[in-house]
Amino acid sequence: MTGSYRSLYHSIQLADLLLIFDGHSSHMNIATVQEAPKNNVMILKLPSNSTHIFQPLDIAVYGPAKIEWEAILIKFACQNLVTALNMNFSPVFWQVYGSQAASAPTMSRLAFEM
């Protein structure tokens, strides 16, 4: 381990909590940054444009599920202009989960091999 990585590793070990975020400005504010050290929380910002490296499940599992969920919601809205989604959430959700559930374990493993 080089000096900077050794220092980071040591700092992480000393913290009570490690807060990892992707660096998007909407996910962090100055109050959080100021309060974190006071509460023994270490903040680790992931590098920009590194989702495919650090969050492989977002790419391989959650991304496709989100796309399918949006398509099903649009179809539901077109077919049920008056019916509220909250009364029919479970059947609509299971359309996505059922299709994703069969491939999720395989895709989860593959996501970390990419």
What digits encode the pLDDT tens for the residues 26-78? 777 888 889 888 888 888 888 877 777 777 777 777 888 888 888 888 888 88
Burial class (CB in 10 A: 0-12, 13-18, 19+), 76: middle
Secondary structure (3-state) at 41: strand
Secondary structure (3-state) at 92: helix
What digits encode the pLDDT tens for the residues 80-90? 866 777 777 88
